[in-house]
Chains A and B, each alone.
Chain A
Amino acid sequence: MSTCENIDSGSINQVRYGCALGAFHSVVAIPGAMPIAHCGPGCVDKQYMSLDFYNGFQGGGRSGGAVIPSTNLQEEDVIFGGAKRLQELIEATLKIIKADLFVVLNGCIGELVGDDVGAVVEEFQKQGVPIVNAETGGFKGNNFIGHEIVVKAIIDQFVDKYAAKNVKRQKGLINVWSELPFQNTFWRGDFNELKRILEGAGFQVNILFGNGSGGIEEWKRIPEAQFNLVVSPWLGLSIAQHLQDKYGQPYLHLPVLPIGAGQTAEFLHKVVAFAGIDSKQADEFITTEEREYYYYLEHFTDFYAEYWWGLPSSYAVIGDSTYNLALNKFLVTQLGLLPVKQIITDNPPQIYRDKIRSEYKNLDSDVSAEVSFLEDGYRINDLLQHLNYGHKPPIIFGTTWERDTTKKLGGSIVEVGFPASYEVVLNKKYIGYRGALSLLEKIFTTIISKSA
């Protein structure tokens, strides 16, 4: 098991991720898809209220929250098995719920009592129902791991079956794998911006999740893409690897999700170079975007250069590896802030950890940062309270769990990740060109609004 490598007791206070079943949110994120949960009566509600509701109050939309069909398993199902119950639920779901794709997620109970969910689902697949089965028992790992299980299940049991046969790869078409939907509070806005900048640079984009996705028709075009683009330190890599094995589709791995003009231009240049397309459109796009970006930064400069009371410099980021690294790159290279300690909370599989650490060794030519991999909130907050932030209290980029510590330190809390229970988020984004501007507004409004 590579996913549960905590030191000491391994107990977790102040959770920073859900369980593998919580990856039903990745299904909810695909327009037209509907999860079906085979689990206890509270599992769906818990994951929803946590990862979705009290995390930016994102909302379930059409296929989330209390809409999700669930077997709500009872004692008799535990004793006699719940496969029959699942079968009748799926039958009834097909009568009651409208969706283009159903994804059955198996939880702890089904996996422990040994329900053969695969066999139940297969019967429906044989009848031509667009339905897949994902084994996501909560003890198997967190929702990051669950996400990869769910995506691979959809690829193997749906995309592979329904995709057009013998179509040629399309140059310039990319499948994008990046943040974890819903877990990342700002994923909706971020995915839109990611799509916008890639399209601006001349690509066609299968963004696959969120409002900008074409739903299952887009998923069916996954095999047509020229390559897979993984924009995160590790999440999605095993999916890209899987697609490479399956379709011989190459992938480009860029660990840094770009925030701000510098990172975004670098990002686009790398993607263009890998794709081997003409860079003219990308160059023009970057020029236009930078004109807009620096128009606002020029005006922001008055504040940043001479705000009467000065502004804090030291900071710590507490978050999943994707956002943690992205924020660090931006804060160091664009703003010249000083990293004190960076805490990565998504429990990346061990094999990726050295690589992640090395990214922080070279945040910029003159700046590196120390990284800790921690998931237990008690230890995280204990650590934060005993760091030396210098003469001014720090900016803490964290979660709701860090509010008390930040208050004790006299610092400013910017809630950038799960759980962000004191943020209301619609399409706010923190990445790319436009997201960077929102992020600047958020950081400095937070800092100065606590001054009086």
Chain B
Amino acid sequence: MKEKINLDMPEVQPREQRLGTIIAWDGDIDELHRQSDFIGRAGCDRNAACKLCELRGPFSQGSVCSEQMVECQAGNVRDAVLIQHAPIGCGAGQVPYNSIYRNGLAMRGHKVENIRIINTNLSEDDVVFGAADKLRMAIDDAWTRYKPKAIFIATSCATGIIGEDVDSIAREKQEELNIPVIPMACEGFRSKHWSTGFDATQHGILRQIVNNHPHKQEDLVNVINLWGSDVFTPMLANLNLRVNYVIDLASVDDLARMSEAAATVGFCYTLSSYLAAALEEHFGVPEVKAPMPYGFAGTDAWLRELARITHREELAEKYIKAEHARVHPRIAELKKKLKGVKGYVATGSAYSHGLIQVLRELEVKVNGSLVFHHDPVYDSGDEQEDSLGHLLKHYGNVENFHVSNRQQYQLYAFLQKVHPDFMLIRHNGLAPLASRLGIPAAPLGDEHIAIGYQGIINLGETILDILARKKYHDSIKKHVTLPYTDWWLKQEDAYILAR
């Protein structure tokens, strides 16, 4: 039996311990799916019995940490404040996440304002003598300045090492202020993959914000997303369902009412795995366990499962039929225009599975992809969520499939093997290299762009736009050299130093 998610622990269990997450692997989807053993793993002790062979080499380039993911989630709750108990360097994240937050607020029609993150600015003395009072004062600052409905506290590598007791200060302040004060263990060194930061935020919200005595709303659906444009409201309106977007750009009340919803969905299991599974296990909100809503097969199945849970099967069938008819002609046109085009997907894990599906719907050839990490199983352990398996079963193998945690130097070798015409990316750091090789990339900052039936059209049109930009990238290619040695550029095996 699968273990229930443990919300009694103050600290979330890192992904590698819960799911067996890996960050380096080389092969194809067929093999990765076999080694992942989704079903077997779901039922076994994930720490011990079934291990994926993970590669580990001496070279690495700067990656991403869990605390950044906490900033991009807890820091984006509209009427909360996030405190970074950290030296000032961690505070640098306030700048990118402010820009993203502001643009996200504008895109969703909220009032645009600066992000509210406070850094405790630990000095050399603080890391020697401890900084409990600094944290208390920062919490007081947050309270007197903003009167927030919740205060989140992110730990840092420095506080983790010096052993700051953030939990008890949070408890003390929660009692004093009478609002949730939520510690999140997200030290960068604590997990090998930054997606643990998603789980740390979600863990804290589940423990301290979600309403324990909900009045159920049979037409409310939690949508676990980031800042993406509002595609779910009009889509779910066809099923007479209302959307509760969480966690980014949500209010604390939105987070509290997650337990009132009739179902939980997501756009990517990497992000939604923990929260959706825990909402079901601890609050009785069913998680829609289905392939993710990408491409026809995925979207059909996803809508049907949502409809089944919320008892709206007829509405769903009507919507599915109408949408198929609506999008087919434009998709047929796009297929003609994209004939012979080859694409490469370099994104987070489950998201890549979804995007490859959409590309293959458009008959774009995909013979390579890299993901930043791989979760062999998700928290629910339900086979319906086996996104890699769904991709394999409905859309076939991807021959060159790599797990590479934003390691730009490896991307060079990957691209030499597959020579794509374009790339889909989400996180920064890889497109700059592709560009220098003459390969344009489409950044999917709006993560909803490829969702559902309209998403197939959106993605097709996005690809046409960026293919036209190849002119720019070709001119750059002619005029720059890469920082890598000739020896490295000759290597066909991107993992050679790890074998």
Complex Cα gap A140–B123 (Å): 6
Contact (Cβ within 8 A) A1 B96 = no
**Which A residues, 99 to 126, have Cβ-Cβ distances below 8 Å to chain B?**
99, 107-109, 112-113
In the complex, whether B124 has a CB less than 8 A from a CB of chain A is yes
Q: How many residues of B contact A (CB 8 A)?
A: 75
* Given known contacts A41-B63, A96-B409, A98-B484, A14 and B114 CB-to-CB distance under 8 angstroms: yes
* Given known contacts A98-B484, A109-B157, A401-B114, A65 and B428 CB-to-CB distance under 8 angstroms: yes
Contact (Cβ within 8 A) B124 A139 = yes
Contact (Cβ within 8 A) B68 A69 = no
Bitwise interface map of A from 335 to 358 toward B, beta carbon under 8 Å scored 1, else 0: 000000000000000000000000
Which stretch (B137-145, B231-239, B465-473) binds chain A?
A: B137-145
Residues from chain B with a CB closer than 8 A to the CB of A403 are 114
In the complex, whether B94 has a CB less than 8 A from a CB of chain A is yes
Q: Which residue of A lies closest to B67 (CB)?
A: A42
Extra A-B contacts (17), CB below 8 Å, given A55-B95, A62-B481: A1-B123, A9-B120, A13-B94, A15-B95, A22-B92, A45-B65, A49-B96, A50-B95, A51-B95, A53-B428, A67-B408, A72-B63, A89-B58, A89-B59, A97-B488, A140-B124, A421-B98
* Given known contacts A34-B483, A140-B124, A142-B88, A12 and B118 CB-to-CB distance under 8 angstroms: yes
Residues from chain B with a CB closer than 8 A to the CB of A138 are 87-90, 158
**Size category, A interface:** 35 or more
Which stretch (B188-196, B203-211, B328-336, B454-462) binds chain A?
A: B188-196
Contact (Cβ within 8 A) B121 A99 = no
Nearest Cβ distance between residue A21 and chain B, in whole angstroms? 6
Contact (Cβ within 8 A) A13 B189 = no
Contact (Cβ within 8 A) A113 B64 = no
Nearest Cβ distance between residue B134 and chain A, in whole angstroms? 6
Residues from chain A with a CB closer than 8 A to the CB of B67 are 42
A-B contact pairs, 11 of them (CB 8 A): A10-B121, A17-B88, A41-B63, A45-B62, A49-B92, A51-B95, A62-B480, A62-B481, A66-B62, A95-B485, A139-B87
Bitwise interface map of B from 394 to 434 toward A, beta carbon under 8 Å scored 1, else 0: 00000000000010110000000000000000001110110
Q: Which residue of B lies closest to A75 (CB)?
A: B189
In the complex, whether B117 has a CB less than 8 A from a CB of chain A is yes
Bitwise interface map of A from 9 to 45 toward B, beta carbon under 8 Å scored 1, else 0: 1111111011111100000000000100100111111
Complex Cα gap A9–B85 (Å): 12
- Give the tally of cross-chain contacts (CB within 8 A): 262
A96 CB contact (under 8 Å) in B429, B433, B488: B488
Nearest Cβ distance between residue A301 and chain B, in whole angstroms? 37
Q: Which residue of B lies closest to A418 (CB)?
A: B95
Complex Cα gap A78–B138 (Å): 27
Contact (Cβ within 8 A) B62 A10 = no
Residues from chain B with a CB closer than 8 A to the CB of A59 are 432
**Which B residues, 51 to 73, have Cβ-Cβ distances below 8 Å to chain A?**
57-68
Complex Cα gap A406–B125 (Å): 37
Contact (Cβ within 8 A) B88 A19 = yes
Contact (Cβ within 8 A) A51 B189 = no
A4 CB contact (under 8 Å) in B121, B406, B488: B121
Complex Cα gap A444–B61 (Å): 43
Residues from chain A with a CB closer than 8 A to the CB of B48 are none
Complex Cα gap A40–B194 (Å): 11
Contact (Cβ within 8 A) A139 B126 = yes
Bitwise interface map of B from 474 to 486 toward A, beta carbon under 8 Å scored 1, else 0: 0000001111110
In the complex, whether B18 has a CB less than 8 A from a CB of chain A is no
Contact (Cβ within 8 A) A66 B485 = no
Bitwise interface map of A from 269 to 288 toward B, beta carbon under 8 Å scored 1, else 0: 00000000000000000000
Contact (Cβ within 8 A) A92 B114 = no
Residues from chain A with a CB closer than 8 A to the CB of B121 are 4, 6, 10-12
